[in-house]
């Protein structure tokens, strides 16, 4: 997926199609996560959530990762220079991460992956989280039934077609991300839907010790894995050894 070409226009497409509805989903649990200290924000595009987050929580250390260098440029302009945000251009599945996250944020991002890609992504990220970490998600969903479900299916197909044309995205259907998160220890603790179930804000929590796991670990081997130490000496997940990419 290459969002460079649409980066500048992305929010106008969004406002044209959905008004402020996606924005409300992103911000639904902003207050609930305002105590997070070490935050990984995945695929936030032009950085609108990140800008709001750091206004509420200027003391948090935030790592922002997006594949599109143009999106990252826009996000950097939007976020105060004094905020503790480290901007990175790279693939969230392979980029080297600091680790020790107590909050992961992904708004309208998990839908860019197939379920098998998500399994890889979530395992990698959750191995970099501390026990008690939370994962904040906004996503599209399908209403329970009736005309709303049919209309949502059509709309989601149209959106995937649009993103295929303008970004080359190859994914064609919404992945079932909640079971993938559950396999990695994240259970849903709060959920709010909008537009009849088409849009969702969800907060997942985990009690799992992601760094030391006694089997069935996120990316772990049976018998468990020793917690590794990050560059600054803190203990963390299995975060090193993952390919690094450029930062902007
Ligand atoms: C659909 S946009 C969502 C943007 C924003 N989060 C929002 O709420 O509107 C998906 C974003 O994820 C980024 N992205 C897609 N695949 C990625 C990957 N593998 N690693 C990091 N970022 C990725 C894209 O560049 C884009 O900015």
Instruction: Give the C-alpha separation, 157 to 53, whole Å.
Output: 31
Q: Please check whether residue 241 lies inside any domain of the structure.
A: no
Let me know if residue 110 belongs to a domain. Answer: yes
Pocket of ligand 1 (CB under 6 A): 1, 3, 26, 43-45, 65-68, 71, 91-93, 107-109, 112
Q: What secondary structure does DSSP assign to 88-105, as a single string? A: EES-TTTS-----EEEEE
Question: Number of folded domains in the chain?
Answer: 1
The range of the structural domain enclosing residue 83 comes to 4-236
In angstroms, the CA 181 to CA 184 distance is: 5
Q: Which atom belonging to ligand 1 lies closest to the Cα atom of 68?
A: 25
pLDDT digits (tens, 9 = 90+) for 90-148: 999 999 998 899 999 999 999 999 999 999 999 999 999 999 999 999 999 999 888 99
CATH of the domain at 126: 3.40.50.150
The answer as to whether 247 is a domain residue is no
Ligand 1 centre distance from Cα of residue 224 (Å): 32
- Is residue 211 very low, low, confident or very high in pLDDT (cuts 50, 70, 90)? low
Single out the residue of 107, 98, 130 nearest to residue 205, CA to CA: 130
Q: What is the pLDDT of residues 38-72, one digit of tens each?
A: 999 999 999 999 999 999 999 999 999 999 999 99
By CB atoms closer than 10 A (0-12, 13-18, 19+), residue 216 is: exposed
Residues 73 and 8: their CA atoms lie apart, in Å, by 10
Asked if the structure places residue 244 within a domain, the reply is no
Is position 143 within any domain? yes
The interaxial angle of helices 69-78 and 48-56, nearest 10 deg, is 30
Cβ atoms of 100 and 127 within 8 Å: the answer is no
Give distance in angstroms: CA of 66 to centre of ligand 1: 6
């Amino acid at each position: 997926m290459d969002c460079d070409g649409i980066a500048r226009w992305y929010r106008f497409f969004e406002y044209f199609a959905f008004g402020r509805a996606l924005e409300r989903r992103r911000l639904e649990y902003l207050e609930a996560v305002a105590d997070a200290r070490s935050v990984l924000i995945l695929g936030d595009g032009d950085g609108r959530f990140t800008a709001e987050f750091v206004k509420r929580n200027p003391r948090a250390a935030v790592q922002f990762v997006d594949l599109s260098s143009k999106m990252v440029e826009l996000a950097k302009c939007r976020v105060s220079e004094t905020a503790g945000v480290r901007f990175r251009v790279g693939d969230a599945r392979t980029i080297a991460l600091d680790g020790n996250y107590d909050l992961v944020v992904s708004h309208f991002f998990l839908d860019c992956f197939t379920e098998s890609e998500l399994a890889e992504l979530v395992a990698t990220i959750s191995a970099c989280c501390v026990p008690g970490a939370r994962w904040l998600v906004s996503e599209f969903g399908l209403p329970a039934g009736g005309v709303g479900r049919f209309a949502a299916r059509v709309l989601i197909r149209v959106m995937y077609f649009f993103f295929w044309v303008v970004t080359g995205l190859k994914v064609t259907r919404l992945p079932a991300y909640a079971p993938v998160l559950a396999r990695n220890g994240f259970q849903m603790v709060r959920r709010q839907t909008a537009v009849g179930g088409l849009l969702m804000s969800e907060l997942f929590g985990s009690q799992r010790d992601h760094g030391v796991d006694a089997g069935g670990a996120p990316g772990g081997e049976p018998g468990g894995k020793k917690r590794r130490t990050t560059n600054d000496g803190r203990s963390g997940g299995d975060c090193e050894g993952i390919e690094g990419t450029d930062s902007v």
